[in-house]
Amino acid sequence: MRKIVAGNWKMHKDREGTKAFVAGLMELSVPEGVEVIIAPPFPFLAAAVEQLGGSAIVVAAQNCHQKVQGAFTGEVSAAMLKSIGVKACIVGHSERRQYFGETDTAVGEKISALLENDITPIYCCGELKDERVAGRHFEVVTAQLNAAFAALSAEQLKRIVVAYEPVWAIGTGLTASAEQAQEMHAHIRSLLASYGEAVASSVPVLYGGSCKPDNAAELFANPDVNGGLIGGAALDGKQFAELIRIAGAH
């Protein structure tokens, strides 16, 4: 299965910063079998797509609205993203769940809207610290996946990417150990298999949460870890390039 290194820029960088980062990225030789994705803020998506031209590097959005169009001030539809050449979109990130009240049902609808527009949804799941401490992490992730995937067919599910991001590891410097990541990724893989073997073997499962060049090798080496969704380390060209190199080596 392909390895993916995806950078979630969150609310960082400006127009010039985006341009400089993309220029640096275009200099890299991306290892075979590695897909590189960057997710800049909305205002810089179109310029990033244009600058990348025919490059295989994918530009992703960080969110979209589930409806086709309408009176939803401040929102952006999947069709709008498609019209500017966006090929992937993060949905259900814990920051959107926590600060913007995004529910599993809304996330499921966003996945459908994206697939209808040929945009790859990068679906985020993961437990809170209290849930991990209470030993409820498998239960929580199972419930998140089942709620978001309930209305989707196996054919649709085959076209998504899952990112396991334990909330306690995001931006904290705490990373899931290689064992913790592998056991959850294997669990997610078995849940995907309940929608069909073809789903389990088609869907990359990425790890996210303080993933950096110094811990990426041991995370990416696990059989069910198909790459990373990177926050902080994806903002720095050198660190992001190193993560891409490491993904190619595992």
Catalytic residue ranges: 93, 165
Q: Taken in order 152, 4, 168, 100, is the CA torsion positive or negative? A: negative
Position of minimal CB gap to ligand 13P: 231
* Minimum CB distance to ligand 13P, residue 194 (Å): 26
Maximal C-alpha separation, the chain: 48
* Minimum CB distance to ligand 13P, residue 210 (Å): 4
Residue 133's SS3 state is helix
> Quick one: 90 or 145, whose CB is closer to ligand 13P?
90
Beta-bridged to residue 4, according to DSSP, are 35, 227
> Quick one: 98 or 105, whose CB is closer to ligand 13P?
98
> Quick one: 51 or 210, whose CB is closer to ligand 13P?
210
* Minimum CB distance to ligand 13P, residue 167 (Å): 9
* Residue ranges binding ligand 13P (CB under 6 A): 8, 93, 165, 170-171, 208-211, 229-233
> Quick one: 148 or 195, whose CB is closer to ligand 13P?
148
* Minimum CB distance to ligand 13P, residue 174 (Å): 9
**Long-range contacts of the stretch 51-57 (C-beta < 8 A, 24+):** 51/19, 51/22, 51/23, 51/26, 52/22, 52/26, 55/26, 56/30, 57/25, 57/26, 57/30
Q: Which of 32, 34, 25, 17 is nearest to 52 (CA)?
A: 25
